[in-house]
Amino acid sequence: MLIGYWPIFFRNFSVHLHSLIRFLYTLEMLIPFHLHIHYIFRSICSMFFNPVLSIFLTIFKLSPAFSLCMDTRIEYQSIDENLWKSAKDNAVTLLKTDRLEIGILEISPGVRFPREGYSIHLENDEFAYVLFGEVVFSTDKESVKLREGMILYNKRGTPHATANLSDKPARVLWILSPPR
């Protein structure tokens, strides 16, 4: 199956964004990120309580053999309305390491990326988490509607496009591994 998506149940995603970024960065430093990403998002689905505790439980479920004795301080951009304005119909990178890239995109009603044809990432697996609104994700073989709280995995090399067919803007958090 080219497209896989799981509902994510964050009560207020923006509050947890910093924890999610730190979690992904820590995890990608410890294991090959693109090989284990499906475990990450299945575990994130169960985050109903303290995100930090959930992160450590998730990591130890993946591999109880290692310990976390590394500095995970990273530089990132805090998301505010000014940053969302710059992300209107434009992908903005929030974090980039040698193993992953995380960013945001606000898609206006009626807008499609790319405007014609399909985009192809030959070297990158891609994930998209819908923070607000809904988008239609299409490949050259199928389409799926993603609503707020859903996440999508797009395998590297898959021709794809994303469109907002609704009458409200959609906000998306995207992840590429490895980065562009």
Q: What is the pLDDT of residues 161-170, one digit of tens each?
A: 999 999 999 9
What is the structure's pLDDT at 152?
86
pLDDT for residue 19: 53
Compute the average pLDDT of residues 30-38.
Answer: 42
Domain boundaries, the chain: 5-62, 78-177
CATH superfamily of 78-177: Jelly Rolls (2.60.120.10)
Q: What own/partner pairs with CB < 8 Å and gap ≥ 24 does 31-35 have?
A: 31/62, 31/63, 33/99, 33/100, 33/177, 34/125, 34/177, 34/178
Asked if the model's pLDDT at residue 72 lies above 60, the reply is no
CA atoms within 13 A of residue 169's CA, in its CB half-sphere = 12
114 vs 92: CA distance, rounded Å: 15
